[in-house]
């Protein structure tokens, strides 16, 4: 059913369209025209008003001939940088960037597979279930498109997100992620004339940073401090400094423990500061949820269906945890059971990014086979 030559050509066309986060307009309108030409209704939601993107998420409805819940399929429109003037180097078995930019297979490989699926369904008419295809914006900067997706347009109970590496490794678990900031307020003073009248916020923050755990905490938990800043002039005792970081874990209990540890350490250091002046030093801590964890058991009906689809497509599907977030985290949190499929993209978010053609084709076969199986058995599941 899949036309590999056509899929590869479409993929290269998509790679030629720049689509950094918030500037997905060109590729979104290209896809809207393409799906409308195929006769499939599509529209944009109003998420752009909240994400800052040029467009909303693109939602495509492919009608089915069976009265079962639709299957949701998703890929994201945006890429990381550098993505200006991408030159694709095609070799016998792979495509790569020229080493100066990303390639953009993350996630244009997923987009290309969904375009090819739509074309194949048009050519090979069979009694398939309805499909809802969502192309999200601003995934790379916090899953913003998915978080602001207008779910009143979505009726699916199951979903497949095309946004991982190996087509034979299906992601069935991903962690929760929290970002945090710690702000320390001291007191300014002339550093040469009367330093004893000041409270050095940077020095206090350094004590806090050195007391906090970072890196791999255990096999399913990590924490990182990624930004630090403070002060204005070298001859002024700095009255303000801050850090920003993140923590991830597959265990919500461990994340709550880490959050408590951060709060306790900061409070202890501030309260025990030896040179208090009025109410100073003081602090503020803020935690923000980036995405919530999900875990789908390997014997869940959706997972079993994908494993069988892999077998029928000639792939030995295995399940794995993923340490990063994706639109699948958002969909699962919304009650839509979602797995992540690999498209073949490798070394993503680097100028060494590449993709093997056979992996792209394998992903397309897996997706098309999954659609067939879902169409045949959806009534058993719901």
**Any idea which residues carry the catalytic annotation?**
78, 139
Mention every residue, 6+ apart, whose C-beta is less than 8 A from residue 90. 12
- Report the candidate in 346, 345, 349, 353 with the shortest Cα–Cα distance to residue 97: 353
Q: 134-148 burial, b if ≥16 CB within 10 A, otherwise e?
A: bbbbbbbbbbbbbbb
Distance CA 335, CA 270 (A): 42
Task: Note the Cα 273 to chain centre separation in Å.
Answer: 41
H or E stretch including 225? strand 221-230
Distance CA 243, CA 184 (A): 9
CB 79 within 8 A of CB 27: no
Distance CA 59, CA 135 (A): 7
**What SS3 class is residue 38?**
coil
CB 360 within 8 A of CB 344: yes
Distance CA 304, CA 310 (A): 10
Distance CA 381, CA 275 (A): 66
Q: Locate 355 and state its tokens.
A: 């993709």
Strands 337-342 and 158-164 come out as parallel
Give, to the nearest 10 degrees, the angle between helix 301-312 and helix 357-381. Answer: 130
Count of CA atoms in the C-beta half-sphere (13 A) of 282 = 5
What is the total residue count of the chain? 382
CB 323 within 8 A of CB 175: yes
Q: What DSSP character marks residue 299?
A: T
CB 310 within 8 A of CB 317: yes
């Amino acid at each position: 059913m899949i036309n590999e030559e056509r899929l590869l050509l479409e993929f290269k066309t998509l790679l030629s369209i720049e689509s950094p986060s918030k500037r997905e307009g060109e590729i979104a309108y290209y896809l809207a025209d393409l799906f409308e030409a195929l006769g499939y209704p599509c529209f944009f939601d109003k998420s752009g008003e909240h994400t800052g993107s040029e467009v909303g998420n693109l939602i495509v409805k492919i009608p089915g001939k069976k009265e079962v819940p639709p299957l949701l399929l998703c890929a994201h429109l945006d890429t990381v940088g550098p993505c200006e003037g991408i030159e694709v180097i095609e070799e016998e078995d792979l495509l790569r960037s020229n080493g100066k930019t990303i390639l953009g297979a993350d996630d244009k490989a997923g987009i290309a597979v969904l375009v090819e699926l739509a074309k194949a369904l048009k050519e090979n008419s069979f009694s398939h279930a309805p499909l809802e295809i969502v192309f999200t914006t601003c995934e790379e900067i916090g899953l913003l498109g998915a978080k602001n997706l207008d779910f009143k347009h979505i009726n699916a109970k199951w979903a497949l997100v095309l946004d991982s590496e190996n087509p034979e490794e299906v992601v069935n678990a991903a962690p929760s992620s929290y970002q945090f900031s710690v702000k320390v307020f001291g007191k300014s003073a002339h550093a040469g004339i009367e330093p004893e009248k000041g409270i050095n916020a940077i020095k206090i923050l350094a004590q806090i940073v050195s007391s906090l755990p970072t890196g791999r905490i255990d096999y399913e938990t990590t924490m990182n401090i990624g930004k630090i800043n403070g002060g204005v002039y070298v001859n002024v005792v700095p009255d303000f400094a801050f850090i920003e970081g993140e923590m991830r874990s597959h265990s919500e209990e461990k994340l709550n423990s880490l959050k408590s540890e951060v709060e306790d350490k900061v409070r202890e250091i501030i309260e025990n500061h030896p040179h208090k002046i009025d109410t100073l030093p003081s602090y503020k801590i803020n935690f923000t949820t980036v995405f919530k964890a999900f875990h789908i058991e390997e014997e869940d009906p959706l997972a079993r269906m994908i494993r069988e689809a892999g077998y029928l497509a000639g792939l030995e599907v295995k399940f794995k945890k993923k340490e990063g977030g994706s639109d699948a985290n958002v969909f699962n949190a919304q009650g839509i059971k979602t797995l992540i499929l690999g498209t073949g993209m490798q070394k993503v978010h680097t100028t060494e990014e590449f993709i093997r053609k056979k992996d792209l084709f394998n992903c397309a076969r897996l997706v098309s086979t999954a659609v067939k199986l879902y169409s045949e058995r959806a009534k058993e599941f719901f």
